[in-house]
Structure 1
Amino acid sequence: MNDVETLKAEVKKLSSRATALKMDLHDLAEDLPVNWQSIMNVAQETYSTYQALESKRAELKQLEA
């Protein structure tokens, strides 16, 4: 697999993970005050995943240019 294909696969995987985490965060917010202790963990993981996704998308865009 070449670099572009590898990055596309990583972006797809990160995008899927980010969407799942977004929904986890949404579900957590809807169920408040139940499980309020996990807000920071879920939010940090969501933030980190979206940060990595943005970085990989920029890297892919640069490679494709």
Structure 2
Amino acid sequence: MSDVETLKAEIKKLSARAMNAKMNLHDLSEELPIGWQTVLDVAQKTHDAFAALEAKRAELKAAESATA
């Protein structure tokens, strides 16, 4: 598997994690004030998931431009 294909597979996994984190944050927001104590933790996990996804997408873009 090429580097680009590997990165695309990693992005797919990270995207799924990010969407799951987004839904967890959304669900939490709908249940407030129940569970308000976990808002910062859930928000941080969501932030981290999207930051990792964005970084991997930038890595893919660089790899694709290097092979073009």
Which TM-score bucket, shorter chain as reference?
Answer: over 0.9
**Structure 1 portions without partners, runs of 5+:** none
TM-score (norm 2): 0.91
CA RMSD of aligned residues (A): 0.6
TM-score (norm 1): 0.95
| Aligned-residue identity in percent | 62
**Structure 2 portions without partners, runs of 5+:** none
Shift of 1:5: 1.0
Q: Distance in 1 between matches of 2:9 and 2:37?
A: 33
Letter in 2 for 1:33: P
Look at both structures and tell me which one has the larger radius of gyration over its CA atoms: 2
Q: Give CA-to-partner distance per residue, 1:10-61, whole Å, 9 cap, x none.
A: 1000001101110110010000000111111110010011001000001001
